[in-house]
Chains A and B, each alone.
Chain A
Amino acid sequence: MATVSLTIDNVKVEVEQGSTILEAAKQIGVNIPTLCYMKDINAIGACRICVVEVQGARALQAACVSPVAEGMVVKTNSAAVRASRKMTLELIQSNHPQECNTCQRNTNCELQALSEAMALGDIRFVRPAQSHSKDDIDNSSPSIVRDPRKCILCRRCVAVCEKVQGVKCISTMNRGFETVVAPPFNQSLNDVNCAMCGQCSLVCPTGAIVEVDDTGKVWRALDDANKHVVVQTAPAVRVAIAEEFGMEPGTLAQASWWQPSPPRL
């Protein structure tokens, strides 16, 4: 396997030819911040958060799409890189509703996490009119809700719907500030060829695509003395629910000393 030697942050590293700067940096424990990148799903250099300085290059390069070259010298956290990242983040935030406290992805949002990590102290450029309004929220389907206001146009959802599912019921429409990830002809998800699988909501870094929240209905039923609530849980839930409490994936949330009691029928 052909290899390439390069220097990242003064550390020499040898990687497989064809690797990106992002992958090479990861090998030496440098996790360049990203937003739109998703391994095996989406590497398009859209968000410009992962930019790095490459000696001799005219401009900062997006690490997730830049292949390494022999003798390359890369700086991942110089003053210029940090300033660029922060400005990019500030601009993204300037077109993003500041609603973290009431958002379904509060505390589990990549935009939030990045803003925290980069100590974003101020959002100076607030556009008088945002690209989208609450009227653009699509809650037509029983499964998924789209809120274009929160979309950072990373295109992960489009990538998953296209490459993994081969459906692509959503894509990017229009251009510039009008750009939106949506079904065609201003239709809602319920009216197009969406399979309702929710993989889009699984990969979305923000609260732009989320599952429909039905918890209110369940609370009301539980509170209703006249209702006898019966609950069933799927096999796949018991190996994942513990993650909602910070446990390792695969932790089994089922009685470990399962004693099948004779069915009382």
Chain B
Amino acid sequence: MDTDFTADLTIMEEGTEFIKRVTSGGVLPMITSCSPGWIKYIEMYYPDLLAHLSTCKSPQQMFGALAKTFYAEKKGIDPANIYSVSIMPCTAKKFEAQRDELTDSGYQDVDVVLTTRELGRMLREIGVDWDSLPEENYDDPMGLSTGAAVIFGATGGVMEAAVRTVYEILTKQPLPDINLTPVRGMEGIKEATLKVGDLDVKVAVAHTLGNARKLLDKIRAGEADYHFIEIMCCPGGCIGGGGQPIPTNLDVRLKRIAGTYKADEELPLRKSHENPAITAIYEQFLGEPLGEKSHKLLHTFYVPRGVYSKPEGLPDKVPSDDHH
């Protein structure tokens, strides 16, 4: 099935969370939380700012939790027998999958993570002929996704996907231009301001931890007047992840980014909230975004770590009242 399905789900949860923070004085700017290298970084270097993170799990982890609950129920399979594998462009996802708190299904939600390189080796091991592979869709019930989901792989993609949904939920109108080009591309830090109803929503996108640091220093100094920030650990976003094929250089990153936005353009569905499989999983299983079941399975907490030693005066987990 497809991580892109849970990417759409992430947008529903995170979009709702964002709207809630904006309308009820929650901690702003809100910062995305799907990049585990980024999460470890902020836990080490800026543990005092963890409240800014969205409490949403990454799409990988949302999928894992649902695979051993929703999917298991649907298919009548004992979740103890489900072995949940994810294929990721990322080495930090291996670290993420074994985090103690990511066991909301009652089991380790994601059992093992393979990088793109490892998948390549497995396919070569059994002599797969690339050109003769038949075309198939992803399996249901977690296989249908949108262009908003596929652009998660590029820096700026999560932000753009979120905006496509949040804008429509708040204004009841579609975005004048579905392509949020100011947040696309290899520029280290990108900014955009959108008029959403009466509100001027200011967003920022950063990729690489070096650029993340600049935005975080701004937040610490009280100078970050953004509402929403997307941070990706790797240059170019996930397409430039540590587990991707070698070589990965600027030229390669640009081509992967181009492929990503092309895929988005060619997909019939391009907004997460228009995905019928997403509507269905809320109706049949989760209830509503940020509801009790969603909170249990799709949200998490973070751990202040410090760089060389655990920092004093900070709680053991953030949010500290998280009941996971």
Contact = CB atoms under 8 A, between A and B. Distances in A.
A255 B150 CA distance: 13
Interface string A135-163: 00000011110000000000000000001
Contact of B83 (A166, A198, A212, A221): A221
Interface string B259-276: 110110011110000001
Nearest to A250: B259
Given A165-B209, A218-B85, A236-B260, A142 B94 contact: yes
Nearest to A212: B94
Contacts of A247: 130
B44 A234 contact: no
A51 to B, nearest CB: 23
A134 interface: no
B244 interface: yes
Contact of A235 (B3, B64, B307): B3
Interface of A: 39-40, 105, 108, 141-144, 163-167, 193-202, 211-215, 217-219, 221, 224, 226-245, 247-252, 254-265
B84 A230 contact: yes
B149 A234 contact: no
A199 B141 contact: no
A214 B112 contact: yes
- Interface magnitude class on chain B: 35 or more
Contact of A234 (B88, B121, B122): B88
Contacts of A221: 83, 85, 111-112
Contacts of B267: 258
B189 interface: no
Given A198-B243, A201-B242, A265-B140, A240 B116 contact: yes
Interface stretch (B21-29, B219-227, B249-257): B249-257
Contacts of A260: 144, 268-269, 276
Contacts of B1: 230-232
Interface stretch (B48-56, B196-204, B231-239, B316-324): B231-239
A158 to B, nearest CB: 14
B60 A232 contact: yes
A196 B82 contact: no
Contacts of B112: 214, 217-218, 221
Nearest to A194: B40
B242 A215 contact: no
B153 A231 contact: no
B284 interface: yes
Contact of B118 (A141, A142, A214, A233): A214
Interface string B98-131: 1000000000000111111111111110000010
